[in-house]
Structures are given as C-alpha cells and as structure tokens.
Structure 1
Amino acid sequence: MIIPPHTPDPEVLDLLVSVAELGSLGAAARRHGISQPAASMRISALERRLDLRLLDRGPTGSVLTDTGQTVVDLARPVLNAAAELMDAVAALRRAARPSLRVLASTTIADHRIPHWLTALRKIRPELAVVLDVANSRQVTAAVRAREAELGFVEGPQSPTGLGSKVLAADELVVVVAPEHPWATRRRALTPRELADTPLLWREKGSGTRDTVWETLELHATPAPPAAELGSAAAILTTARSGTAPAVISRLIVAHELRSGTLREVRLAEGFTLTRKFRAIWDRRTPPTGPAADLVELATRIEAARPHRR
C-alpha cells in the first residue's frame, strides 16, 4: 500500500476534531497545548493540502463548514485506528521487554533489595522488576506456588522442598526503652532470662519471630508475648513506649540506637541471635538470566559489606 499524496498528518486531523468537539478554535488550541494563532495556521495548512474550506472565520470566532464537519466524520475512524495501532505497539513492547517478579520479606525489601536492584539495573537496564513484599512464610508459599521466580526470606532454616542460597547473616539485638530496667543493667542477659520475659513479637510467619523462637526454645519455652505486631515500625514504636523488650534486626534499629531512643541490651557470652538472608526458588526452575544475575549480585554485595563483630 502506498499512502496517497497530500494525506494529512493525523495530529492536524486531531486538532480539527477537537474544534468540532469543543466548538472553538481557541479551546482546541488549549487542549493541544498550542497558541490559537498556531492552531489557526495548522488548520489553514490543512485546508491548502486538501484544497477545501474547513472553517468559517468571523469576528466572533471560527466554526466548521459543512465540508469541515464531513472531514471530521471521516477523520474519526482514522484517528481511532491510529490509537489502536499505538496501543498494540505498546503491548508488543511490554511483551518483548524482559521482566522479573520477586517477592521479599519486609526487612530485606526495605534494607537490602534496593542495593541489589541498583546493581542489577546497571547490567540489565532494560529489565522490568516487579517487587512484592510479605513476611517470610508468605514469600515461601508464593514461591512454592510458582507465583514468583525468586524469593528472598529471613529465618533460621532453609524452607523445605525449595532451592536456596544463603546471602548473609543478619544480627538481631535486644532493645528496650531508656527507662526500662534492662537499659542500665550491668549483667549480661542470658537466654533463659530472655525466654522467661514477655517480648514484643512479630506476627506468625515472620523470619525474625521464627529465629528468636527456635533459639529460645533451646533453653526454655518462651513466655507468652507482651504483644504481637505486624510490622517492624510497630515494634519500634511500642518498644520506645517502654511496654516490653523487643528483638529486632540491627539494620532496622540502627537509627534508634544512634539517637538513644532505644538501648541495646548486652547478651551473655556465647549467646547470639542471628538469622540468615536467603534467596529461594522452585527446584524445578533454578534461577537463570536476570534471576541468576540478581542472586549473584546480592551474594557479592553482601560479601563485601562490613560486618559488625
């Protein structure tokens, strides 16, 4: 197919349709973000190209001629077809663009993934990453259901039945408000004391909760929670109020420890609270392409980070 000579530009046809819809050349010009004189010049150029008078121009404004209205009616399906064409092209671009869906636990999503994705963007700038956030148990369930190619979780053990790789160890600390008796205690805190104390706990399914619970169970059955809270932010706020001690990632509580709004409680020698950050995936589909790149970059970045001793 060869486009006939003098075929008008769709943009000027769209301007003419706007004149018909809005009733004036000035309103059409404003819709298209141009001045009224510029709009008038474009319509005049269209009239010369078509060799037709499309507007009646008068002292009170410009209105479409009967011929102009006929051209508008002919132009509408052309413009609709152009819009459909560009929508289809956009869909093709989206389909052709590589994408990666990732699920991550809250701590990893807030404090580690941004660094990993920045590095990934440098080697795969065309990649579209979709990141969803949930607790570790929910992330694990989603990966098992193959709702995501890759998951990042925290916890003491590797989820059964999934492929995984340890990326880093995350230190957990016991914190209290400055007014809490533990804030000034000189004797280090033992595992039994911590187990016997009602604490601020995350919800069931949290990697932090699972790690602390499994560690304390080695020494005693943990006391009933002082409160169960659905986010690290809620834990910090409640701990600052002096309600009870909390066990939380040093990554999350670093600012409060520096500012003094929370105090770290020293643990007895040999008593450590750490959890693992892991990448997890369905064993039937190990990471390849962008997913493999992300795991490798996360491993390198975490290995290069300074770790508190």
Structure 2
Amino acid sequence: MASPSPEQRAADRGTGTAGSGGDAAGARRTGAATHENGDGTGTPRPTGGVLAHRVPDLGALELLLAVARRGSLGAAARDLGITQPAASSRIRSMERQLGLTLLDRSPRGSRLTDAGALVTDWARRVVEAAEAFDAGAQALRDRRDSRLRVAASMTIAEYLLPGWLIALRARRPDTAVSLHAGNSTAVAERLLTGAADLGFVEGLTVPAGLDSAVIGHDRLIVVTAPGHPWSLRRRPLRAAELAATPLILREKGSGTRQVLDAALGGLARPLLELSSTTAVKASAVSGAGPAVLSELAVGEELSLRRLVTVPVEGVDLRRALRAVWPSGHRPAGPARDLLALTRCGTPG
C-alpha cells in the first residue's frame, strides 16, 4: 500500500483521523463534542455554541409565530410590544441567519412562504418546549422558596436570628423556616451534608468547603455574680491570670471557646463545660464561678446586676460573625433575602 502523501498526513492531523485521541482533538478544533459510544468509539456532535449560531433566538421565533397568527407584521409587533421597524429588522435578520425567505411582504400584509410555514411549525415546537422548560424551572424555584433550613451557632441563634426571621416572615410569608442551633462545627457539618441552606458561625476561621460573608462583630466579656471576688477588683485582670483560672465554658467546637482559646494561647481545665450559652449564663448567675460570654447574651443580666463585667487587659476578645454556605453555591431565594436582612440589623 502506498504511503500517505504529506498533504494527506496534514489533512489527517487537522481532522483527527490519524493517531490515538485524534477524534477528540479534531472535535474540539471544529467546535464539535465527542459522544462516547458503547463500543468505545467517539461520534462528533455539535456543541451548544454551533447550535446557537444556527438557530434563531426565542424572541425571533415568537415574532414569527405572531406574524403567522395575525397575518400582519404590524399587528404582530403590537402584540409583542415592539415597533414595526424593529419587527421587520428582526425577521430579516432571522432570514439571513437561516438562509431562507420566510415572508412574502405586500401592502395587504405578510404571508408565510412555503419555507416560512415549515419553519413556523418547527418554531412552535421549540417555543412550546421552552415554555415547558420555564414552567419546570419555576416549579423548582417554588419548591426551593417554600422552605428555608437555617443552622446557627448558639449566640446568633438565641439573640440575633429571632429578629431576622420575623423580618423575613414579612417578606416571605409563605416560606416555612426551620432552625437548628448548635456549635460552629455542627453548623458546618449540616451545610456540607445538605441538611441546611444557610448557616451562621462565630469562630475564628471559615470551615473548609464553605464560603462566607462577615455580617457583623461581637465581643466576649468576662462576667461573674456580684459576690465573686473578681467583682470587687479595682484593676483589670491580666490575660495570663484569666488563662490560668478554671472558667465556666462552652464545649469544644463552639465559636466562643475557639476565640477565647486562641486569644489567650490556651486555657486551664474548665470549672464547668456546658453546651449552651443559656446554661453557662445560669451557672455564672448562681455564683458557680466566672464565665466568658458574648456581650449580646448578657445585656439583661448586666442591667439587673445579676452579673457584673470584669475588665481584662492585654487581650482582644472581639470576633467576627459570619454567614456561611457551601462553596460555589451563592444563597438564592429565601436564603439570599435572609442574608440581606442580617446586614441591616447586626452589631458592627
């Protein structure tokens, strides 16, 4: 058998007919996708880009259907809310795109050509399919918008979210909202497993696999019951003294515990380790010992003198409050609205 000519070899390289993987490479160069057959061979097929170049847009197809229905380009333009010159220009553009004459124009109106009648039939099917597609997408949006699953760390869940959810209810009265309160680690787990749509955390860092937005800031404060020796101090606590003292603390994994541990460089063994802000606060009020809590959580107790603040020097106990969601899935629908509301009513 004769060897291929240089021209033939060049042609083979250009079309992907020679060498392993040539079909896929040739398909990419010519704007075609490769469909894997059951026998392992690849069959090129047009990509969406090629199809979009050859097929008129939905607006043009709807205009053609309106002309067929009304028998007049002017009447069709009025139905669609555009000017007659714009409608005429769109029809001519579609004719150039298809390489076909679709309408015979005369003073008495516009009549479909034979080719135009066929294209109109095809256009009707395309538009009906698009309407079905739109209806299906709307049904999915309605299902998404009918519920919102929120996960939040304790301080945010107890002291900030109630107000946000009341405001969301005014905007979306038909959305059913469920709230799971837990520590920051539990919030991340629910988001990553698909059990929540939007989360709120108070920790130092954003858990892996999540995107975030800072929605405000909070400050941790040291509090005791009025009879505790620290309540009588004239000078602030030093950071080292606070770190060495057994405290009433939240459990490991909570945002409060993470921030405090990082700020002090380590903590003494807890006096008590409790799983909710309310339990920590109640223990401090009872006189069990000093606690570190969010400023948001103890406003009432401080105003009634059931707790007192103990100043601390040499340590920054401010922390960011964050909304979090799975990476690459920006909040939509009710989750997007709730996120917007948090930015309107969160401590700075």
| TM-score scaled by length of structure 1 | 0.63
Describe the superposition over 1:238-293 as per-residue Cα deviations: whole angstroms up to 9, x where unpaired: 2123222100011111111111111100122x533122211111013221121111
Describe the superposition over 1:182-214 as per-residue Cα deviations: whole angstroms up to 9, x where unpaired: 101011111111101111111111111111111
1:151 and 2:199 matched: yes
Match of 1:113 in 2: 161
CA distance in 2, matches of 1:120, 1:285: 21
1:275 and 2:319 matched: yes
Give the letter for the 1:117 counterpart.
L
Match of 1:101 in 2: 149
The one of 264, 272, 278 equivalent to 1:233 is 278
CA distance in 2, matches of 1:214, 1:106: 19
- Of stretches 173-182 and 115-124 in structure 1, the one that deviates more from structure 2 is 115-124
Which of these two proteins has the greater Rg computed from alpha carbons?
Answer: 2
CA distance in 2, matches of 1:176, 1:229: 16
Q: What are the within-5 Å matches in structure 2 for residues 285-300 of structure 1?
A: 285-300=329-344
CA distance in 2, matches of 1:253, 1:119: 23
CA distance in 1, matches of 2:145, 2:212: 27
Residue correspondences, number = 207
Describe the superposition over 1:67-104 as per-residue Cα deviations: whole angstroms up to 9, x where unpaired: xxxxxxxxxxxxxxxxxxxxxxxxxxx95962111111
Give the letter for the 2:274 counterpart.
L
CA distance in 2, matches of 1:120, 1:107: 19
1:252 and 2:297 matched: yes
CA distance in 2, matches of 1:132, 1:161: 20
CA distance in 2, matches of 1:178, 1:99: 45
Q: What are the within-5 Å matches in structure 2 for residues 115-194 of structure 1?
A: 115-194=163-242
Give the letter for the 1:223 counterpart.
A
CA distance in 1, matches of 2:246, 2:168: 42
Unaligned runs of 5+ in 1: 1-93
- Does the residue aligned with 1:147 lie in a helix, a strand or coil? coil
| TM-score scaled by length of structure 2 | 0.57
Question: What is the RMSD computed on CA atoms of the aligned residues?
Answer: 1.8
Q: Percent identity?
A: 45
Q: CA deviation at 1:224?
A: 0.9
The one of 245, 257, 260 equivalent to 1:212 is 260
